[in-house]
Structure 1
Amino acid sequence: MRFTPASIALAALLTTVSSVGLTQRPDTQISPLSIEWQHAGVAARKAGNFEGANDALETALAVDPRNRTAYVELAEVARAQGLQGKAIRLYREALLLDPSDVGALVGQGEAMVEKGAIAKAKENLVQARNACKSDCAAVGKLAAAIEKGPPATVLSAKEGVAVPKVPVTETP
């Protein structure tokens, strides 16, 4: 009778441990619902609906945070909106899931060039060249973007600024 509580506890532990392994998906399997939301986000981005694309892609990531392609697409939406800092962060999230993703490396490098961080973009170029096994056209595109440099910014005064008028005063 002394062994009954211990055997019950051991049986409960074994039941719990064995059931945990049955419910988990492998890391390579992305939820089909997440993929559906991702496709909806891509379609919205291509249609120019950036807000709808952003919502759909964030939903895809909420369903399955391991959806690396959704991170890359969300970064593309951020770049289209001119939010290069956000795009760089989203590409980094994708690279945490797969450090050898050439598309994410190139996209992050291009966003860095647009932001003016040429040295960091060159580091991405080296990593992309090392990771590229076939079809390295995107790597050449990043090299051309680095060669071209960041986009020129206009630092001029705003047009249409009203000059304050001095009231005419009468002299006695």
Structure 2
Amino acid sequence: MRYTSVAIAAALAMVSISTSLHGQRPDDQIDAKSLVLLQQGKAARAAGNVDGAIDLLETAVAVDPRNREAFVVLAEVSESRGLPGKAIRLYREALLLEPNDVEALTGQGRALVAKGAVARAKENLARVKTLCKAACPQATTLAATIAKGPPITTAQAKAPVPVPGKN
């Protein structure tokens, strides 16, 4: 009698867990509507409608948060708009879905260099080289970006040295 209530509770828990898992889609099946929105976003970006592309890509991610390619394209758009911090975050979202995505690692490395985090970009380069196993264009591009270094901002530009006695 003491075990009956525990057995019933365990049986109910198993039934509820199995029915909730049964209704979920596998991770490799991305919602078709999200893929259509991704393609429309790419087309809008190619046509020069960046704001429309961002809206479509964000909707694609909202429809199916497992759409890694939408995160990558959205990050590329953010990079092109001069928002490396946002691009880094979006690349990180893509890498959470697939840690070995060479495109996302390369893009994140570019954004990290633009933000001034060259050491972290070198870590990404090492991972890209490990994943490629042979020479790949992504590793070459990222290595060139790292060698070039972060962009110089106006605050970093050398200010004229004041001459004593002159104002």
Band of TM-score, shorter chain: 0.7 to 0.9
For the pair 1:19 / 2:22, whether they are aligned, the reply is no
Asked if residue 117 in structure 1 is aligned to residue 117 in structure 2, the reply is: yes
How far 1:131 sits from its partner (Å)? 1.7
Which is greater in Rg?
1
AA partner of residue 75 (structure 1): A
Instruction: Quote the offset at 1:19 in angstroms.
Output: 3.1
Give 1:21 deviation, angstroms. 3.3
Distance 1:112 1:53 in 2: 23
Match of residue 137 from structure 1: 137
Q: What residue in structure 2 maps to residue 45 of structure 1?
A: 45
Pair 1:87–1:64, CA change in 2 (3 A): same
Q: Deviations over 1:49-105 (max 9, x none)?
A: 111111111111111101111110110110011000000010011111111100000
1:22 is displaced (CA, Å) by 2.9
Which deviates further from its counterpart, 43-52 or 103-112?
Answer: 43-52
**Counterpart position of 2:29:** 29
Give the fraction of aligned pairs with identical amino acids, expressed as a percent. 56
Q: How far did 1:115 drift?
A: 1.6
1:85-96 counterparts in 2 under 5 A? 85-96=85-96
Q: Which blocks of at least 5 consecutive residues in structure 2 are unaligned? A: 158-167
Q: What 5-or-longer segments of structure 1 have no aligned partner?
A: 158-172
Distance of aligned partners of 1:6 and 1:141 in 2 relative to their CA distance in 1, 3 Å threshold: closer
| Number of residue pairs aligned between Structure 1 and Structure 2 | 153
One-letter code aligned to 2:28:
T
Report the TM-score, using the length of structure 2 for normalisation. Answer: 0.80
Aligned to 2:72: 72
Amino acid at match of 2:20: V
Please give the secondary structure, in 1, of the residue aligned with 2:99: coil
Q: CA deviation at 1:153?
A: 2.3
Distance 1:25 1:135 in 2: 37
Q: Tell me: CA distance 1:134–1:28, structure 2 relative to 1, closer, same or farther (3 Å).
A: farther
Larger mean Cα displacement after TM superposition, 111-120 or 139-148? 111-120
Q: Distance in 2 between matches of 1:35 and 1:116?
A: 34
Q: 1:86 to 1:156 in 2, by over 3 A?
A: closer
Cα separation, 2, equivalents of 1:68 and 1:134: 24
| TM-score, structure 1 normalization | 0.78
Deviations 1:116-171 (A, max 9, x none): 211111111011111225671011100011111112223499xxxxxxxxxxxxxx
Q: 1:97 to 1:14 in 2, by over 3 A?
A: closer
3-state SS, counterpart of residue 150 of structure 2: coil
